[in-house]
Each structure stands twice: as structure tokens, then as C-alpha cells.
Amino acid sequence: MKLSSFTKSFLGGAAGATLVLLLVFFSESNNKTKSQSAQPSDVEISQSQSIPVHQSSYLPEATTDFRKAATKSLNAVVHIKSEILTANTSYYDFFGPFKDYFNHYPERQNVYAAFGSGVIISADGYIVTNNHVVNGADKVSVKFNDGHEAEAQIVGLDPSTDLALIKVDRDDLPFLTYGDSDALQVGDWVLAVGNPFNLTSTVTAGIVSAKARNINILGSKSAIESFIQTDAAVNRGNSGGALVNTEGELVGINAAIASHTGVYEGYSFAIPVNIVRKVVDDLMEYGEIQRAYIGVQIQDVN
């Protein structure tokens, strides 16, 4: 079919007009886009914040400060050396009935030494420790944190609580004040201060694991066992050392560990300071513990 010249002219003009309109539309759209992109955004973009990155073993900063307690305790805890002298008779026994002819030779002695810790409880030289640290000793020596040494005298012993009181001739000593062991709660932080393996002035930390623990180690019918159990590391040489709270107050005297190997396995035991105070007061005043007995013995009826 052939189109008339009029129709061709009309269609050509319409196409041209349409092309012009499209060009104008895209031109205006492009201008609007450029105009809009030049305007500042209404959305505020915050500055990048640094996010701390930690290792998988990261622990938050502890809220409990042990430095105060450690500082107060170190100079008030001493190293104790107990010496037991025994005669060496094997030399004379060798000669049997002829030993009387050798009396002009000096008698030989063996010296057995044991080590432990002690806590200064007064400026005038009173020191509390364990009975098993000094019992039977012929000589007791005390070494202070500043390196000075002094010989001590045994004031009194109490095997029923495994406590002992000794004294040195000093009147200017730093000492620990008594806390309240009854106020301790399971989960409270405590520090053990002593001289394990002769490593003087050692501080370890733990929590109160249990209270009023009876572990049947004193082996006496009249024994008083009501130990504070902790997980603070305690080893040989810690016996008689201090257990303190986070204020640096004395709350116990370290006495024993529960172990299959003889070294620390996570269970240590301290004598509560409220028991220590009663024993120390009696030993100071009387030289022995004062305790009442009702005179009645209980037994099974069959």
C-alpha cells in the first residue's frame, strides 16, 4: 500500500517531535540527577568507632585489687626455722663395752631442721604459727621480710587446734590486725601469704571454697577442727602463714592441704582467726589453753 505524501509528512514530523521530547526528557532527568547528587545528604554518617579486639582468652579487668592486702601482709609474715638436736650414738655403739674408754671424745649431734611461716600479731614480737612447725624444737629462728633474723622463744602450744605462740625480743614490728572469720562468705577472695619451699614472701590468691570443714587430721579426741577451705595455692613451708581478706586483715592461719602427692592440688585449709584469737589470748596469759570439760562421755548402748 502506498502512503500519500501528506501522510508521510505527518508521520515524519510526529517522529521528529517525539525524538525531541525524549531528548528533552532525558536531558532534564540527567540535570535533576546531577543536581540532586550535589546536594548534601540528610542522613548523618557517624565517624568510624574503634572496636577493641581481644584474644579468645581475654578476661575483663579484675575489679578486686589485691595490692593493698599484699602490701600490708608481706612485712608481717615471717619465715620460721625449727631445729631439733639429737645425739648420734652409732659411733659409740660400735665399740660396745669399750665405749667408756672414748669418753674424752666430744659427743656428736645430728641437727634436724623444719621450716614454716608465722604471723606477727603485735609490735612487741608475738608471732602465731602452727604447733606442728615448732613443737619439740630445741631452737626456733625467725627471719623477717627485711632480711633480719632473731631467735624466738616458745610461749605456748595447743595441739588441739594446731596453734603455737612464739616471741622475739623486738618492739617495733609491723603486724596484722584481726579480721572476722565468721563474716567470710563462700566465694569471697582471700590471699595466702607464706614461704612455700623456702620461697620467702610468697602471695597467692583464691576464694573461700567452704567453711567449718572437719578433715580429721589432728588425731585427738579434744581436737577442734573448723577449717576454712580455699583454693589459694599452699605448699610445704606455708604452714603457720597468713590467710587475709582483701582489706589485709588476718582471717586465718594456713595449716594443711589435701593432696595425694604432697603438693598443692587445689584444696587448702586454714584455722579461722576467731579460734586463733581465743587460743592466743590464753597462751599469752596462762601459757596454755583454758578449756572447760563437762566430765561426761558418750558411748553406744547395746
List pLDDT tens digits, range 137-170. 999 999 999 999 999 999 999 999 999 999 999 9
Q: Are 250 and 242 in contact (CB under 8 A)?
A: yes
147 and 186 assigned to the same domain = no
Angle, vertex CA 176, rays to CA 271 and CA 283, nearest 5 = 55
Q: Note whether residue 214 is domain-resident.
A: yes
Can you give the pLDDT at residue 281? 97
Q: How far is the CA of 99 from the CAs of 93, 104, 105, 146, 169, in angstroms?
A: 7, 10, 10, 48, 43
What is the rounded distance in angstroms from the CA atom of residue 241 to the CA atom of residue 253? 6
Per-residue CA distances from 20 to 13, 29, 43, 86 (Å): 11, 14, 37, 124
Assess whether 146 and 227 both reside in one domain: no
CA 290 to chain centre: 33
Which letter, b or e, does each residue of 180-200 get, where b requires 16 or more Cβ atoms within 10 Å of its Cβ? ebeebeeebbbbbbbbbeeeb
Q: How confident is the model at residue 44 (pLDDT cuts 50, 70, 90)?
A: very low
Same domain assignment for residues 240 and 279? yes
Phi, psi values for residue 126, rounded to 5°: -80, 135
The verdict on residue 1 lying in a domain is: no
Q: Is 8 contained in some domain?
A: no
State residue 53's pLDDT score: 56
Do 148 and 82 fall within a single domain?
Answer: yes
**Among 174, 176, 175, 155, CA closest to 165:** 155
Asked which of 106, 132, 167 is the last residue of a domain, the reply is: 167
Query: Does pTM surpass 0.85?
Result: no
Return the DSSP state at 2: P
Domain containing residue 94:
67-167
For residue 54, is it within any domain? no
Q: Verify whether residue 239 is a known catalytic residue.
A: yes
How many domains is the chain partitioned into structurally? 2
- At residue 6, the pLDDT reads 43
CB atoms within 10 A of CB 142: 22
Mark whether 152 and 231 lie in a shared domain: no
Residue 186 and residue 162 share a domain: no
Does residue 141 form part of some domain?
yes
Q: Is residue 226 included in any domain, yes or no?
A: yes
CB neighbour list of residue 200: distance below 8 Å, 6 or more residues apart:
79, 143, 145
Annotated catalytic residue: which of 73, 82, 181, 239? 239
Q: Which pLDDT score, from 0 to 100, does residue 22 have?
A: 40
* Residues 249 and 275 placed together within one structural domain of the fold: yes
Cβ atoms within 10 Å of 25's Cβ, excluding its own: 10
Q: Is the domain of 107 the same as that of 139?
A: yes
| Integer Cα distance of 269 and 260 in angstroms | 15
For 18-34, the pLDDT digits (tens) are 433 343 444 454 444 44
Report how far residue 65's alpha carbon sits from residue 246's, in angstroms, rounded to the nearest whole number: 7
Q: Which is catalytic among the residues 82, 162, 231, 268?
A: 162
Task: Let me know if residue 298 belongs to a domain.
Answer: no
Which one of the listed residues 73, 82, 132, 158 is annotated catalytic? 132
Residue 301 in domain:
no
Which band of pLDDT confidence, cut at 50, 70 and 90, is reported for residue 10?
very low
Residues 277 and 192 in one domain: yes
Residues 189 and 272 in one domain: yes
Shared-domain flag, residues 198 and 278: yes
Residues 152 and 220 in one domain: no
Q: Which CATH number belongs to the domain containing residue 238 in this structure?
A: 2.40.10.10
Q: How far apart are CA 45 and CA 123, in angstroms?
A: 66
> Which residues are CB-neighbours of 7 under 8 A, at least 6 positions away?
none
Find the mean pLDDT for residues 38-64. 52
